[in-house]
Amino acid sequence: MTSCHTCELVERRDVGDAPLWDSIYRTPYWDVVHCNSTSLLGWLILVQRRHLAAIEEMSELEAIELGKLIRHVSIVLTELTGCIKTYVVQFAEAPGHHHVHFHVIPRMPNQLAEHNGPGIFKKLGVSEAERVTETAMNELGEKVRLYLETQLGDQDR
């Protein structure tokens, strides 16, 4: 396997060397993290803990856990951000990130039309000045963690 930056990030979480926003909640198969290069608070990513390059490589148990996480992350984002729905996207094509992960993105009610649907990616890869602050990501992350622990239990953390 070639170098995978996503695997390096998972390993960092495994040894407890990740900030709260980058280790919000962990299950046996998935990590919930906040995207750190977005201007949209609540842009969460569900990262497969073992290296997979494609969805069809998932086990049945990994897929079941993913479905539960998508639902619960969407519920808590709706509650915490006031979004009207969430978008769920998976490509695993960015350089260094050919590793299955799902973006769960809040679709805000006052969102500009140009940011609807695939246009939401205009809020990704923004300049440092436009990015959600680490403090804001941590504050939201703590609330998401509490909700997921309550709903799903304190699994493999």
Q: Are 87 and 38 in contact (CB under 8 A)?
A: no
Collect all residues with Cβ–Cβ distance below 8 Å to 73 and sequence separation of at least 6: 32, 44, 46, 86, 104, 144, 148
Task: Please state the separation of Cα 129 from the chain's center in Å.
Answer: 21
Q: How many CB atoms lie within 10 A of CB 21?
A: 23
pLDDT beyond 80 at 155? no
- Map out the domains of the chain with their CATH numbers: 5-152 (3.30.428.10)
First to last CA, the chain: 26
Mean pLDDT over all residues of the chain?
94
What pLDDT was estimated at residue 157? 45
Tell me the pLDDT tens digit for each residue of 41-74.
Answer: 999 999 999 999 999 999 999 999 999 999 999 9
DSSP secondary structure letter of residue 56: G
